[in-house]
């Protein structure tokens, strides 16, 4: 990957520097890689890190030349080992706790609502908020060494960054309760069998696999991907009839794009399409 740091002139003025995140951009391939970088604490998410992530997501969302985001954790051991337990220990009561949860939820929902595909490259422990973060992505690749789980009840709390809601929607109500009640750590293969991760790859190949998948998605019509993401994410929350209405509406929006003409012309002319993203 052609790694372009935030110090690079092309991006220096547009993308802030972050203490707890590494941001690599490949503008030619249209891929951004965000690495949670707090390896001495197994990439645990504290408020400062979440605030940085919130800001970075806004910046990435504004880059029209970035079409796919890959999110991973620094080091070989952890994707994200949870919310920062020291911060949870310092929470001052109900309101403080609810605000703590809402802030994390807001940042994670921002990931889910990005109009570009988000690939989670789960390179190790994805526990608590780490598992919840992974659940916000569109496609989850896991290293064969990864371990996922929601161990919050071991600390006297519950998942607060969307785990009780998103996990139940992915694996079903009762399996989610089993995972949350026991706090057990699932190996990557078990997580795959439950549908929590989409693919398990050797740890050494994880980032290459994620980047290769990102490249293949970046070669698709960006607006079509965005519309498909909205159709699926919002449609599953609706009745079938309302979901079909939404699909027809979004299909209509896709037909309005110049990329629809380019995509169909390219097929008929037996050439590669050149997407405009509109
Ligand atoms: N919050 C804050 N710090 C954390 C953390 C978290 N969620 N997870 C790990 N760390 C810190 C440890 O405190 C330790 O810091 P230190 O070196 O300053 O003492 C460092 O990261 C390394 O973790 P350590 O526990 O020593 O590694 P390990 O290999 O023995 O165990 C885990 C790894 C992931 C099993 C263990 O760290 C763990 O259970 N973490 C908490 C997981 C969790 O409950 N997450 C949900 C939080 S709501």
Give pLDDT tens digits for 144-172. 999 999 999 999 999 999 999 999 999 99
Residue pair 259/224 in contact (Cβ under 8 Å)? The answer is yes
Q: Ligand 1: which residue has its CA nearest to atom 44?
A: 151
At 90 the pLDDT is: 98
Residues framing ligand 1 (Cβ under 6 A) = 41-42, 44, 81-86, 88, 125, 127-128, 151-152, 155
Q: Which residues are catalytic?
A: 132, 152
At 2 the pLDDT is: 41
In angstroms, what is the span from residue 164 Cα to ligand 1's centroid?
A: 22
At 201 the pLDDT is: 98
Place of tokens 């952890």: 78
At 16 the pLDDT is: 73
In angstroms, what is the span from residue 227 Cα to ligand 1's centroid?
A: 39
Strands 78-80 and 68-73 turn out to be unpaired
User: Which atom of ligand 1 sits closest to the CA of residue 78?
Assistant: 34
Pocket test for ligand 1, best of 43, 83, 85, 182 (most atoms within 8 A of CB): 85
In angstroms, what is the span from residue 41 Cα to ligand 1's centroid?
A: 6
At 10 the pLDDT is: 46
In angstroms, what is the span from residue 53 Cα to ligand 1's centroid?
A: 20
| C-beta atoms surrounding 155 within 10 Å | 14
* Cα gap 14→245, rounded to integer Å: 38
- ∠ CA 75-21-74, rounded to 5°: 5
Q: Ligand 1: which residue has its CA nearest to atom 39?
A: 81
Low-confidence ranges of the chain (pLDDT < 50): 1-14
At 15 the pLDDT is: 65
The pTM for the full model equals 0.95
Pocket test for ligand 1, best of 37, 38, 40, 41 (most atoms within 8 A of CB): 41
Burial 184-199 (b: 16+ CB within 10 A, else e): ebbbbebbbebebbbe
């Amino acid at each position: 990957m052609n790694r372009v740091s935030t110090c690079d002139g092309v991006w220096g003025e547009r993308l802030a520097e972050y203490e707890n995140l590494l941001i690599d951009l490949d503008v030619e391939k249209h891929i951004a890689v965000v690495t949670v970088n707090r390896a001495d604490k197994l990439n645990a998410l504290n408020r400062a890190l979440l605030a940085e992530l919130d800001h970075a997501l806004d910046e990435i969302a504004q880059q029209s030349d970035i079409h796919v985001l890959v999110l991973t954790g620094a080091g070989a051991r952890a994707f994200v080992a949870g919310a920062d337990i020291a911060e949870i220990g310092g929470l001052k009561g109900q309101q403080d706790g609810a605000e703590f949860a809402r802030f994390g939820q807001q940042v994670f929902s921002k990931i889910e609502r990005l109009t570009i595909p988000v690939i989670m490259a789960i390179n190790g422990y994805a526990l608590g908020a780490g598992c919840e973060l992974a659940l916000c992505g569109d496609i989850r690749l896991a290293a064969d060494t990864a371990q996922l789980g929601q161990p919050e009840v071991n600390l006297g709390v519950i998942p607060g960054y969307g785990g009780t809601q998103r996990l139940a929607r992915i694996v079903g109500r009762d399996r989610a309760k089993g995972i949350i009640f026991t706090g057990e750590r699932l190996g990557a293969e078990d997580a795959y069998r439950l549908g929590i991760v989409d693919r398990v790859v050797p740890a050494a190949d994880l980032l290459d696999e994620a980047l290769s998948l990102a490249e293949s998605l970046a070669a698709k019509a960006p607006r079509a991907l965005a519309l498909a993401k909205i159709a699926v994410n919002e449609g599953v929350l609706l009745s079938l009839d309302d979901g079909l209405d939404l699909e027809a509406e979004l299909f209509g929006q896709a037909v309005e794009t110049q990329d629809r003409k380019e995509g169909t012309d390219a097929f008929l002319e037996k050439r590669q399409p050149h997407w405009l993203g509109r």
